[in-house]
Structure 1
């Protein structure tokens, strides 16, 4: 019976390390001083959070929470919470030669250099030409509403596509972390 209890000992160890680091990053990117730091440092910290979140999606109870987004949240939130964030993670992981958010670029040739129909290719192909998705979030401590647009490429071919044109660094990272935290918090008791 203990073998099916969630989380088991190894999961708990992994979850504790992952959640603690994710929450540290979350706090850091909502500190205004973070955004005046070196762009390489910001990029490294932001990237690490996407990597952690993507690994946490492998924990079955978190995936149940993501699946609930299909019916319980606004349109496209499921796609963003699962596929957009994994797309960003995969760009960061498979093409690790960028040093800042604003310089990340790709095109169909780069994405498919090794094989076609990978997860990045499928994501961009699926959302090519999709209309923008708009969100807003309230920053209680700053008494400020922030508006964000998530844009999808009009075409996906040999022309370069910049990540910054899809999702802006500061508001995009902060929005992403808010949604990721909401999903992750579904598994937190204390």
Structure 2
């Protein structure tokens, strides 16, 4: 492999921290006991996972993977892996007053309170009115297939758009984590268990 494609020292440090943090949250979320925690605890962990993933999307080889997914994977998978997950992260980041997944909502006025045309506004303008996307995922350890729908808002106006109506908490978060992990794993050459 050409060294031009290997992460530099700063990237390596960032990627190690990001991947370790993400994988720790991933493991916790897929433990059934996680869902017994209160809504605020779950929300904080999920928020951290989306934040880590959004930062990893800035790594150039991950951008190449997203472009490849557009061509080689089912329709909308790349858009979900980039646009939807960044939208969720940006809502969490720019409207940090929510304390549970089911409470999170935005509308056109709130989104544009400071400036129009930013990332959340662009996402909702682009995807409102789009058809639902159906997915399924397999949990090997539980021998369980889960089906879910991702529902884009019918309209983007001053009516509340709840995150839970776009993506359910438990199934939606698990699906998101699986897709994020698949995209992130594209950059793994080996795993060192000596931490």
The TM-score with structure 2 as length reference comes to 0.95
Task: Name 1:110's counterpart in structure 2.
Answer: 110
The 5-angstrom pairing of residues 75-154 of structure 1 reads 75-154=75-154
Q: Distance in 2 between matches of 1:69 and 1:117?
A: 26
- RMSD (Å), alpha carbons: 1.2
The 5-angstrom pairing of residues 35-114 of structure 1 reads 35-114=35-114
The alpha-carbon deviation at position 66 of structure 1 amounts to 1.0
The 5-angstrom pairing of residues 161-172 of structure 1 reads 161-172=161-172
The alpha-carbon deviation at position 5 of structure 1 amounts to 5.2
The alpha-carbon deviation at position 79 of structure 1 amounts to 0.6
* Residue deviations 1:71-111 (CA, integer Å, cap 9, x gap): 01000001101100000000000000000000001100000
Q: Distance in 2 between matches of 1:62 and 1:75?
A: 18
**Structure 1 residue ranges without an equivalent (≥5):** none
The alpha-carbon deviation at position 6 of structure 1 amounts to 2.1
Q: Distance in 2 between matches of 1:100 and 1:7?
A: 36
* Residue deviations 1:87-145 (CA, integer Å, cap 9, x gap): 00000000000000000011000000001111101111111111100000011111110
Where do 4+ consecutive residues of structure 1 move more than 4 Å?
2-5
Q: Distance in 2 between matches of 1:146 and 1:5?
A: 37
- What SS is found at the alignment partner of 1:187? coil
Q: Distance in 2 between matches of 1:179 and 1:147?
A: 14
The alpha-carbon deviation at position 17 of structure 1 amounts to 0.4
Task: Name 1:178's counterpart in structure 2.
Answer: 178
* Residue deviations 1:32-54 (CA, integer Å, cap 9, x gap): 00001011000000010000000
Matched positions, count: 189
